[in-house]
Structures are given as C-alpha cells and as structure tokens.
Amino acid sequence: MICRLLRENDDDNDNSVAISSTTSLAAEKESTLRNDNSKKHRFDITDVANVALFLAVFVGLWQLVTLLEIWPKTLLPPPAQVAISISELITSNSLIIGIATTLWRLVAGFAISIAVGGVVGLAMVKFQGFGKTMSSFAVGLLTFPSIAWIPFAILLIGFNDLGILFVVVMASVFSVMISTYGAIRNVPPIYIRASKNMGAHGFALFRHVMIPAATPSLIGGMRQAWSFAWHALIGAEMLITTLSGLGYILAVGREFNDMSQIIAVMITIFAIGLLFDRAIFLRLEEKVRSRWGLNQHAE
C-alpha cells in the first residue's frame, strides 16, 4: 500500500523523484537523457535535492508515527529497525538470492510473453477474422485478475518454477498481443502507401515500415505488459511456495510475524519496479520519442 502511494507520488512529480539511492541513479541518467539534445550530461542538482527532501519527509513521518506508539513496535517498526533488517537480509545472502530468482523468473516469463504475444499479435493483423475474434478473447483475459490463475497453475503444473512462469506469462501475454495488434493496425496508411509505391511488400514492408512505425506504441504496450508480469510474479511467489524469491521472503515474514522483514522486502520490490521502469522502458521511450520529435512540447 505504501509502495503504491509512493509510486503514484513519484509519477506525479515532473522531475521524477526517486526514492532509494539506486533509483536516484536511474533518475539522473534519465534527466541527462532528457536533456540530450541541448545540454549533454548536465547534472541536475534540483532533482537530487528533491529526492533527498522527499525521502527525509517520508522517513521523518514514519519515525513520528512509530514514536506515537499507536501500534506496538513489533507491528510497526521504526525506520532504523527496517534498515537493520535489510542489512541482515543482505548479509545472510537471502535477499540477493531472492532478487536473483525473482528477476530470472520475471525476465524468462516476460520474454516468453513477448515472443508468443508478438507472434500471435502479428498473426491477428495478418488474418483479419482471427484478429477480430482473438482480440475480444484476449481483452477478456487481459482484464482477468492474474491471481485467479494461481489455483489453476498449482493443480495443473504444481509448486515449481514452471507454475510461477505460467502465471506470469498468462498475466502479460495478452497485453503484448493486444498492443502489438493495435500498434500495427494504427500505423498511418500514408506510410504503407508510400512504401508500397517504392516497392516494399510482404516481409520487407513489415520489417522496414510496419514494425518501426508501430514502435512508440509497441514500447508503451511492453511497459504495461511488464508491469502486469511484475504484479503477477510477486503474487504467484507468495502463493506458489518454491522456497525462493522475493514473494516467498515476504510470505515467510508474515509466517514469523516479522514486520521489519516484510517492509524490507516491500522496499526492495518497490525499488526494483521503479528501476526497471526508469532504466529500461522510460529510456527506450524517450529515445524513440526524441527521434520522432514527439517530446517537443515537454521541453
């Protein structure tokens, strides 16, 4: 919940306020990227100051609430205790292993989604009847809560990595499918006509015109699919017990009533989410937008 709130706050801020030290690095990279045209590698001190201020206020409020002792310290630990918990998790290696396992699952699941969703999406463009039917089917499954796949995955596949991957793929593949289908169908016809006139057809038309023309909206679609995959992954890790992964550490924290471990993992999950979005998707999007001249109004 806190993560959500923070994330929203973060998105609202134009200067892309980042929370942890790792993410502030990403924010710096992003701000230099944004100013790529005019001022290269400009170090924006106000961005860093904003982040620091935001962090200070947040941690201060948290400390204040714990000092009021509305809840016992075991239920709402102060920031310092959570920091200790984080360092313990790091020294015992369980956090690093957890992050590695979770990221591996995320990357694998997302890659499968892009491959399958992309191919099916392209087939939907190619075969119109199939496209029409499949798009309503896919929209239905797109809105389907990913957590509802978990009982199905447990019984069909079992408590293992494949079961988790299945849930992750199911959560994101339809988003990839729909956005591929939509992005390619929305390519301005003038580009198609001009390139046909210049002799492009079949695969060349696809490769050299449709795909690049659809890229800005494709990236948007991938971004959304990635966030679906991420949501589903943590949920699946909590419910499909495999003795590893961030979701599992979170679930263990609940089992042992260890609130500081829970909060520590929540912060990690938040940081990874922010890092991926800023470091990969936002960067890609910015790159494409600046090439197309779409970010003129932002400057």
Partner 1 sequence: MCIDASMALIETSSYTNKINNNSSNQEQREQQREETLDLTPILHVKDVYKSFDYKNNKNNRVSKIANYECISRKQQQQQLLSNSTSNLRTFTHDVLNGVDLRIREGEFVTIVGPSGCGKSTLLNIIAGLDRPDSGSLLIRGAAEDRNKASSTNRIMIFQESALFPWLNVQENVEFGLKIAKVHKDRRQQVVGKYIEMVGLSKFSESLVYQLSGGMKQRVAIARALAMEPEVLLMDEPFASLDVQTRDLIHDELVGIHKTTGKTILFVTHNINEAVLLGDRVIILSSVLKNIKKEFRIDIPRPRDPESPELYEIKKQILKEFESDLQIAKRK
Residues that bind partner 1 (CB under 8 A): 190-191, 193-202, 204, 208-209, 212-213, 215, 288, 291-294, 296
Pull the structure tokens for residue 8. Answer: 């929203």
15: which residues sit within 8 A by CB, 6+ positions away?
31, 44, 46, 47, 50
The CA distance from 146 to 238, in Å, is: 13
Nearer to partner 1, 41 or 201 (CB): 201
The CA distance from 42 to 30, in Å, is: 11
The CA distance from 158 to 111, in Å, is: 22
The CA distance from 277 to 113, in Å, is: 17
Nearer to partner 1, 73 or 132 (CB): 132
Confirm if 229 and 147 have CB atoms less than 8 A apart: no
- Provide, rounded to whole angstroms, the least separation between the CB of residue 62 and partner 1: 46
Q: How many CB atoms lie within 10 A of CB 173?
A: 27
- Provide, rounded to whole angstroms, the least separation between the CB of residue 15 and partner 1: 25
DSSP string of 264-298? HHHHHHHHHHHHHIIIIIIHHHHHHHHHHTTTGGG
- Provide, rounded to whole angstroms, the least separation between the CB of residue 208 and partner 1: 7
- Provide, rounded to whole angstroms, the least separation between the CB of residue 139 and partner 1: 23
Nearer to partner 1, 29 or 289 (CB): 289
Nearer to partner 1, 203 or 256 (CB): 203
Nearer to partner 1, 139 or 204 (CB): 204
At residue 5, φ and ψ (nearest 5 deg) are -60, -45
Nearer to partner 1, 208 or 254 (CB): 208
Nearer to partner 1, 73 or 193 (CB): 193
- Provide, rounded to whole angstroms, the least separation between the CB of residue 46 and partner 1: 28
- Provide, rounded to whole angstroms, the least separation between the CB of residue 213 and partner 1: 7
Pull the structure tokens for residue 61. Answer: 């409020």
- Provide, rounded to whole angstroms, the least separation between the CB of residue 130 and partner 1: 18
Tokens 């038309």, located at residue: 205
The CA distance from 256 to 195, in Å, is: 63
